[in-house]
């Protein structure tokens, strides 16, 4: 029975992603973001439970990636689609995809054009990354490219900032179509970039061997307290920068 417990957590991740989709297509981006966060928690728990119960399995690995394609691939893509649609929609409103009696109830109309469809590159890049991850035996202590949950947190932070940050300057950037296009292109690249990024998995709690991880977690906490939801994009940038610096330090130590 215990071997099925991690898989149950994985399926709850998938369920959370499906519920998030229902909210996002109705224009409820905040609720969509909330259920994505719930899904990411279950995604963390399934791996933790598998290690604690010694219940890792090939089925669990495949289920985990399939669930992540939805929660950390399809949902952020749809959220970005909605934001892009809002940025070019002259009414400045979200597109309610489930209101079939509305003129806006479509994934395409002449006013929006095909611009918002660029956001669907995010699910494609996420699926490609997850497929590569399953075949890569090296990514145990580090990641190659930005992990899909980190990329998802970056994107779902945008509607949360719009809703709760109350900063006109930041909000103006988030609804700028060129900014959204740039975030999308950067997101697609970073998911599969040949860049080594540190993992937050602790083999021990020795500070010297985990200095980068501890420093990152402390800075993350401070940024969240000070900047609230606006901290998330800053934290993702910090994660990449600290990883690059850590890589340089490792190469320097190896060459000396």
pLDDT at res. 100: 44
Which tokens in the block code for residue 45? 């728990």
Burial 81-106 (b: 16+ CB within 10 A, else e): bbbbbbbebeeeebbebeeeeeebee
- Cβ pair 231, 224 in contact under 8 A: yes
pLDDT at res. 52: 84
Rounded to whole angstroms, how far apart are CA atoms 76 and 25?
Answer: 12
**Secondary-structure class of domain 2-194 per CATH:** mainly alpha
10-residue block means of pLDDT along the chain (256 residues)? 84 96 95 97 88 82 92 97 86 53 47 84 96 79 90 97 92 93 96 91 69 92 95 96 88 70
Q: Count Cα neighbours of 71 within 13 Å in the Cβ-side half-sphere.
A: 30
Q: How many CB atoms lie within 10 A of CB 225?
A: 9
User: Could you please report the per-residue DSSP string of 190-238?
Assistant: HHT-S-EEE----S---TTTTHHHHHHHHHHHHHHHHHGGGHHHHHHHH
User: Could you please report the per-residue DSSP string of 157-173?
Assistant: HHHHHHHHT--HHHHHH
pLDDT at res. 105: 44
pLDDT at res. 92: 54
pLDDT at res. 54: 81
Which tokens in the block code for residue 25? 């297509």
Which tokens in the block code for residue 149? 């949950």
> What pTM value is reported for the model?
0.88
The DSSP letter of residue 175 is T
Which tokens in the block code for residue 151? 């990329």
pLDDT at res. 255: 66
Helix, strand or coil, per DSSP, at residue 183? helix
- Cβ pair 35, 20 in contact under 8 A: yes
Domain borders along the chain are 2-194, 196-256
């Amino acid at each position: 029975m215990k071997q099925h417990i991690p898989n149950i957590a994985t399926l709850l991740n998938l369920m959370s992603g499906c519920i998030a989709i229902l909210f996002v297509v109705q224009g409820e981006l905040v609720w969509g973001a909330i259920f994505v966060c719930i899904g990411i928690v279950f995604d963390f728990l399934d791996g933790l439970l598998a290690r604690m119960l010694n219940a890792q399995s090939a089925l669990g690995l495949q289920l985990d990636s399939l669930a992540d394609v939805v929660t950390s691939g399809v949902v952020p893509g749809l959220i970005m689609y909605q934001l892009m649609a809002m940025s070019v929609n002259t009414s400045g409103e979200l597109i309610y995809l489930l209101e079939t009696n509305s003129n806006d109830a479509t994934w395409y109309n002449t006013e929006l054009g095909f611009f918002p469809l660029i956001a669907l590159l995010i699910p494609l890049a996420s699926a490609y990354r997850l497929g590569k991850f399953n075949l890569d035996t090296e990514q145990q202590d580090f990641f190659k490219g930005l992990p899909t949950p980190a990329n998802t947190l970056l994107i779902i932070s945008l509607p949360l900032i719009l809703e709760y940050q109350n900063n006109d300057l930041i909000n103006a950037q988030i609804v700028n179509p060129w900014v959204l296009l740039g975030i999308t292109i950067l997101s697609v690249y970073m998911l599969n970039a040949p860049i080594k990024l540190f993992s937050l998995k602790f083999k021990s709690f020795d500070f010297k061997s985990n200095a980068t991880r501890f420093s990152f977690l402390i800075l993350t906490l401070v940024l969240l307290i000070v900047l609230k939801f606006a901290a998330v994009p800053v934290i993702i940038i910090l994660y990449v920068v600290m990883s690059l610096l850590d890589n340089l330090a490792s190469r320097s130590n190896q060459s000396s």
